[in-house]
Amino acid sequence: MAEDADISGCNPGLLEAVLPLVCLFVLLALAVQVFGDMATSGPVQVALMCAGFCGGLIGLRNNVSWSELETAVSSLCSMVMVPVLLLLSIGGLIAVWIAAGVIPSLIVYGADLLHPAIFYAAALVICAIVALASGSAWTTAATLGVALIGIAQASGISLPVTAGAIISGVYFGDKLSPLSDTTNLSSSMAGAGLFVHIRYLLTTTLPAFMIAFVFFLTLSLMSTQEVDAAQLELLTSELNEKFRISAYLILPMLGVIGLAIFRIPPLPAIAVSIAVGIIVGLVFQSPEAGEGLAQRVFGYWSMVANGYHADSGSPAVQALLSRGGMESMLSTIWLIVTAMFFSAMMDRSGCLAKIVKSVIGLMRKDRHIFLGAGATALVGNTIAADQYLSIVLSTRMYVDEVRTRGFRPEMLSRTAEDFGTVTSALVPWNTCGAFMSATLGVATFSYMPFCVFNIVSPMVAVFYISMNIAVRRCPEADALERPIEEVIPSSI
């Protein structure tokens, strides 16, 4: 990506390179100030388009043709087609699992088991375990996360804090799971062994998770927010009336984990889960009066497209259950497409390459190369708007320099995860931030302050790098840094 800009001879100055970023941040600040939580419903997309055109103008000024810029946009958009299809499929899965009684069963049993005094901490741990087993932050958030949000909504518990606990948990599991695509991608791009990479991840990931656990447990115990027991009871009783609630209906959730364990790719795994959900719904849930089998099947077909719409006298229950469907993800996809436009313009115009080279030039000590890689991952999540591109950028741009400076490759792969994987959900126009907001029904700017694990992970990494803790070098590099007396035997 960035190398292409150099090949074409496009070399903007640093001030030119950061101009689109300045444009984006100013427009985003205005969007949030003026539109608040509604900013991601359109104004943010406009800001991304405007900033993208700014990057395009810089490319034109540096002899990049408009057709080259359009080709870059087309190429980058093609890279996110699978995540877009995955988004659509997960929208359908949510609707089907609500109609089939899977998510209502998770809500009812979860409401009985999760005590309000430890709710946030329990949500963190449960999501972490399921994501670790499944290897997918998205699938865990779309199933278990939706159920936990439902419990919080019915209980009067803070939705932003709940969303923060869910996102912290799912990204802990996703980051450490050997089944996770980001874990495999970062280790392979840096040239590190998968399980060596995971073991080394533990040095920064476990402290960050413990800080998050203490935070959410303290917040749970000290919370003065009253649980609306009447509303929660109303929800569970209405769910029992509308659906046949059964422990068997939790099995599809375990089935998703099983598919992940057998390394079934996410898209077919979600498709299978939708099919299983429809079969479970046809078997377990009672049909409406006079409704035949064909009508029920067509009803599920419609739900996959347009979502499940609950008919309830309670506005809270109706708002909780009326969700999902491919249609619900269209605003998120709109956000992703405009983010890809901005990213492609930044990349093809040479702005991104200039920024990254400037970051490398600031590295004084050898180990500070990882601070540069981490900063690149953060910029990648902001500019490239996709965690996979962030990981690729932060590894590919530094892998040769890391090798030259004598560091182990797992240092680089760990940095890509510490800064790239977990922070993707904090950027509203990133594919992950847009997905989490759309799925959990909480604006990114609202849940962001409570994603403690995601915020603390890069902070722990910075502390370790700055203090030279858990910084691994190749054996030859270790020898070069030791005093000459330790390297050469005294008998010589």
75 Cβ neighbours under 8 A, 6+ residues apart: 344
Burial 46-84 (b: 16+ CB within 10 A, else e): ebbbbbbbbbbbbbeebebeeebbeebbeebbebbeebb
As a residue count, the chain comes to 492
Whether 344 is covered by a domain: the verdict is: no
Q: Is the pLDDT of residue 213 over 90?
A: yes
Tell me, what's the pLDDT at 186?
80
Whether 170 is covered by a domain: the verdict is: yes
480 — pLDDT class (breaks 50, 70, 90): very low
316 — pLDDT class (breaks 50, 70, 90): low
- Beta partners for residue 407, in sequence order: 473
Whether 442 is covered by a domain: the verdict is: no
Q: Is the pLDDT of residue 31 over 50?
A: yes
Whether 349 is covered by a domain: the verdict is: no
207 — pLDDT class (breaks 50, 70, 90): very high
Q: What average pLDDT does this structure show over 400-422? A: 85
Tell me, what's the pLDDT at 214?
95
Tell me, what's the pLDDT at 57?
94
Q: What average pLDDT does this structure show over 83-107? A: 84
Q: In this predicted model, what pLDDT tens digit does every residue of 282-315 receive, in sequence order?
A: 988 888 777 788 889 999 999 999 988 877 666 6
φ and ψ at residue 490, rounded to 5 degrees: -70, -20
**Angle, helices 351-361/369-383, rounded to nearest 10 degrees:** 160
User: 3-state class of 471 per DSSP?
Assistant: coil
Q: What average pLDDT does this structure show over 60-81? A: 87
Q: What average pLDDT does this structure show over 44-49? A: 85
Q: In this predicted model, what pLDDT tens digit does every residue of 70-80 receive, in sequence order?
A: 999 998 788 77
Whether 420 is covered by a domain: the verdict is: no
227 — pLDDT class (breaks 50, 70, 90): low
362 against 34, higher pLDDT: 34
Q: Is the pLDDT of residue 378 over 50?
A: yes
Across 188-192, 395-399, 410-414, 474-478, the highest mean pLDDT is recorded for 410-414
Lowest mean pLDDT among 2-16, 54-68, 175-189, 376-390: 2-16
Tell me, what's the pLDDT at 9?
54
Q: Is the pLDDT of residue 321 over 80?
A: no
56, 69 Cβ separation under 8 angstroms:
yes
Lowest mean pLDDT among 61-70, 278-287, 351-360, 457-466: 351-360
Q: Per the structure, how many domains does the chain have?
A: 1
Mean pLDDT taken over the chain: 81
Lowest mean pLDDT among 46-55, 65-74, 355-364: 355-364
Whether 12 is covered by a domain: the verdict is: no
Tell me, what's the pLDDT at 208?
94
Q: Is the pLDDT of residue 205 over 60?
A: yes
Whether 316 is covered by a domain: the verdict is: yes
332 — pLDDT class (breaks 50, 70, 90): confident
Q: What average pLDDT does this structure show over 142-154? A: 84
Whether 288 is covered by a domain: the verdict is: yes
Tell me, what's the pLDDT at 2?
44
Host domain of residue 111 = 82-329
Give the H/E segment covering residue 297.
helix 293-306
**Rounded Cα gap, residues 444 and 448, in angstroms:** 6
